[in-house]
Structures are given as structure tokens and as C-alpha cells.
Structure 1
């Protein structure tokens, strides 16, 4: 299947096609519809994980680094960036590499 260009806004979980962009995106990728479905699923998982971390945030004595909800959020975010890196343009891959977010992830 042919790949199309998409623009991604990680913070809002948006996957935009060229006709929908208004300059509010961080990354450009080339993906098949199946890959976009996988990415959309990761964004949905991230939204769920974000809700879990918000509910946990009201517990003041629990440290961030000892918190399974935050670990799940972080792991999911790394998976999103790994997929964006795999599908990204050279500029996208370079930018993600400069963020050092993929350090420690298996290829």
C-alpha cells in the first residue's frame, strides 16, 4: 500500500493530512493507513494513561519515579516517538534523535 504524508501534533494527539494542517504540528511522517491506525491507537492509549496519571496526582506522598501510572504514561510516549521516528522524514528522525527520548529503547 502506498504511503501518504501526515503531520503529527504529539501534545494534542492529532494526526493531520496535508489539507488539514494550519502549521500546528511537530512532525512530518510517511505512513500507510494501517500504520496511521496503529499510531491513532497509541494516541488513544496515551490519553487513557494521562487520565490515570491525573487521578494519581492527588496522592501527594507518592514519588513520580515509583509510580506505575507514570511508568505506563512514559513507556507509551516512548512508543509514540519510536513509531514517529520509524515513519518520519529525515528532519523528523533527526529532531527525535536530538530529544534523546529513544535512549534505552530496544530497536
Structure 2
């Protein structure tokens, strides 16, 4: 049984999910059920946690960005966020994400 999908407005930059289009700025409009929103929220929370790890790691000058596992984790989670938004988003969201060329090629 499909759960009822609701409209949400997403701002990836600050990890904000809202049902109000006027409450704050947003970049993407999606249709999602409660489970999908929970998954998206968990991805945003995961990136928030990784950002703190990156902040502390940034004070270790001998670790270069491309050798830093936390940066890889952050990049991977960000890609998952955009993948979910692409899957759940309206045509404008899909078009914008395609133009970003952030997702792996779909086969």
C-alpha cells in the first residue's frame, strides 16, 4: 500500500525540509511519503555530523582533501541526497540536477 505523498520544499545547503513554500528559501520541490522524508532527513543529519568531523580534521594540516575519508563520506551522502531529490522531485528539480551532472550515469 502506497503511503500518501505530500509536497515538501528542500534546501540542500542547510539541510532544511519544509511543507511550506514561504517559510524559508528552498531549491527543490518534491513529493514524498513519511518514510522517504525520514530517509532524506537521515542523510542530512549524516552530512551534518560529517561536517563536524571535517571541521576538526581541517585542523590537521598533513591530511590532504583527497586522502580524507570524511570528505569522501560527505560527497557520497550528498550524492545520495541529490539522487533522492531527483527521484522524488518535480520536472524542474530533475532538470536542475541533470544540469549539475552530479549523479552517476544511469544504465
4+ runs deviating over 3 angstroms: none
Question: Structure 1 residue 16 and structure 2 residue 49: aligned?
Answer: no
Q: Verify the 8 A CA contact 1:85 1:93 in the aligned structure 2.
A: yes
Q: Is the partner of 1:51 in helix, strand or coil?
A: helix
Summarize deviations over 1:43-79 as a string: whole Å, max 9, x none.
1111111111111101112211111011111111111
Q: Paired residue for 1:29? A: 30
Q: Is the partner of 1:55 in helix, strand or coil?
A: helix
Report the RMSD for the aligned CA atoms in angstroms.
1.6
Cα separation, 2, equivalents of 1:33 and 1:21: 21
| Residues 81-90 or 21-30, more deviating | 21-30
Q: Verify the 8 A CA contact 1:7 1:21 in the aligned structure 2.
A: no
Q: Is the partner of 1:29 in helix, strand or coil?
A: strand
Q: Paired residue for 2:9? A: 7
TM-score by length of 2: 0.90
TM-score by length of 1: 0.90
List alignment gaps of at least 5 residues for structure 1. Answer: none
Cα separation, 2, equivalents of 1:33 and 1:3: 8
Q: Verify the 8 A CA contact 1:9 1:27 in the aligned structure 2.
A: yes
